[in-house]
Copies of this chain bind each other. A is one copy, B any other.
Amino acid sequence: MQTERKSSGTVGKALSVLDQVASFERPVRFNDILEESPFPKATLYRILQNLVTEGLLTFDREWQTYALGVRLVRLAHSAWTQSSLAPVARPHLTALSEATGETIHLAQLDGPHVLYLDKRDAKRRITMFSEAGKVGPAYCTGVGKAMLAFLPEDELQRILPQQSYHRFTPATICSQQELSSELEQIRQHGFALDREDHEPGIICVAVPVLSRTKQMMGSISITSTSARTSLGKLKKFVPDLQNAASEVATAAEYWRFPDNQRTPEKMEI
């Protein structure tokens, strides 16, 4: 589940160490990191020191452990507010959840993975930090497939081989070929289905959020259990979902340039 990025440059190396620390689920000692690090002792040591002085990591002198620093939380707050669909989508997700009584997800792509940015649970109406920020696979979730299907060809070709194609359930799509044809279907229908691909008993419908210029910005899904409902019934919500998605897209574009009605510059190529 570790994102593979070309970690060229000093910043990249630092980031890869940061990711590594993040991948442990609790504070770690120097040696724990060293053991699975590609960097030699001295180099790793210096990188860690840099990260600590930058506030991206904290070092607990008492236990001699490193952990992610809270500075990240502040940056993420800005990221969530300014760069994700989450703030503008918020009311629409709430409305959807109330209208359908089911769980709603908002997701965007982070490299090859799905990153959940918001969630609305019909019962407990609560969005938690601990929900936003979670990652999941793209090739076998409704939100993931909906996004992949509407990605520009070149980006798609870069991302497809990076999927793990792990079989979670008997229904999981486990090859790039199968996925490609599924994506073609999705493109034609305009929505994606999760037929218990990822978790047994969990089904969902998802639609992409597309900008006026057909750029894929994220996706929204309605999730339920096969015990409570069926794919057939879930499909009835597609118009609502599409409606919400297009409203989110409009709101997002309007919000980005509220005081400015100029059209975007012509794209090169």
Interface residues, chain A, CB within 8 Å of chain B?
A: 3, 5-12, 14-15, 18-19, 22, 24-27, 50-51, 53-56, 58, 61-65, 67-84, 86-87, 108, 110-111, 115, 117-118, 125-130, 132-135, 211, 213, 215, 255-257, 264-265, 267-268
Contacts and interface: CB of A to CB of B under 8 A. Distances in A.
Contact of A83 (B70, B78, B267): B70
A31 to B, nearest CB: 14
Given A11-B11, A75-B18, A77-B133, A63 B25 contact: no
Nearest to A84: B70
Given A55-B110, A69-B79, A77-B130, 20 more contacts: A5-B55, A11-B50, A12-B53, A19-B75, A55-B111, A58-B83, A62-B267, A68-B78, A68-B79, A68-B82, A70-B83, A70-B84, A70-B110, A70-B115, A71-B111, A73-B84, A74-B110, A74-B135, A76-B133, A77-B133
A155 to B, nearest CB: 12
30 contacts: A6-B53, A9-B10, A9-B50, A10-B10, A12-B54, A19-B75, A22-B78, A24-B82, A25-B82, A27-B83, A55-B110, A61-B268, A62-B213, A68-B75, A68-B78, A68-B79, A70-B79, A70-B108, A70-B110, A70-B117, A72-B76, A73-B79, A73-B115, A73-B132, A73-B133, A74-B115, A76-B76, A80-B130, A86-B129, A127-B127
B67 A82 contact: yes
A12 B76 contact: no
Nearest to A266: B62
Contacts of A6: 53
Contacts of A215: 62
A25 B259 CA distance: 13
A77 B113 CA distance: 15
A27 B58 contact: no
A256 B27 contact: yes
Contacts of A86: 129
B133 A74 contact: yes
B84 A79 contact: no
B54 A15 contact: yes
A72 B115 CA distance: 11
Contacts of A82: 22, 24-27, 67-68
- Closest 3 A/B residue pairs (Cβ): A77-B133, A76-B76, A68-B79
